[in-house]
Amino acid sequence: MPELPEVQIVVNQLVTRLGRAQIRAIEIRDPKIKLAGDLVGRRIRRIRRRGKNIVVDLSGGRHLLVHLRMTGWFEFGQPKRYRVAIYTTRGTAYFEDARRLGMMQVVTTAQLEHALEQLGPDPLLDGCELSGLRTTSRPVKVALLDQRLVAGVGNIYASESLWRARINPRRRSDRLRSEELRGLGRGIVASLRRAIAHGPRIFEAQQFAVYGREGRPCRRCGTVIRRMVQSQRSTYYCPHCQR
């Protein structure tokens, strides 16, 4: 599932390819997607990210709100299958989504604000403010996946960030000390920025510290990485570094 870094990479590509362009046509190939309102002729004012959401601000007070969900992505050369094509004066973006779970809708400014205000702080936009973690007794790894507490962090970068901060993923969130929260904040920002730096090659170039490395040595201490299941999601950690 695309998390904050992958979404930011897509946003960067969209800005480069479609920024300030005018929409010439919209082709919808999947009846599950219904885009209310006339988008043709509207100019793209800004393309941005909030958490895992992509926001395309359009002229006339409309916004295209996109969530990639499990398999959504934008391509700029025509793929074999795509759900939506956005034709502009600068180029075309194809919304590809094998499992058809991604969301795309046109909203007003008020509707956009309502949707985004449900999200917690975005680590790269708001500073990594983690006081919300103290409001729950859930294990910290589970709490990090709650988008109302921290926007954009998913399963992969939760494991990576906890490893950087040397925090056991089983720790109760409300029992983390202030210095541990600050360390976790630094770990989250470092993990996200490192991933974004890979750019479009992220899926082939990225090497994780713990995620997906069960049975392999920790890159810091050499202890064998373990895997456990928390809330039906895989968690990877080093039993020595994250006691």
Judged by phi (left if over 0) then psi (alpha if -120 to 50, else beta), residue 214 lies in beta
Catalytic residue among 100, 186, 194, 233: 233
Helix (H, G, I), strand (E, B) or coil at 152: coil
Catalytic residue among 3, 6, 96, 160: 3
Q: Which among 36, 39, 11 has a CA at the least distance from the CA of 23?
A: 39
Q: Which among 113, 120, 171 has a CA at the least distance from the CA of 145?
A: 120
Catalytic residue among 42, 49, 50, 52: 52
Catalytic residue among 2, 5, 121, 169: 2
* Tokens describing residue 138: 């859930």
Q: Is 233 a catalytic residue?
A: yes
HSE-up of residue 96 (Cα within 13 Å, Cβ side): 14
Distance of CA 152 to the CA centre of its chain: 4
Q: Is 217 a catalytic residue?
A: no
Q: How many Å apart are CA 227 and CA 224, to the nearest integer?
A: 10
Query: Mind telling me the catalytic residues?
Result: 2-3, 52, 233
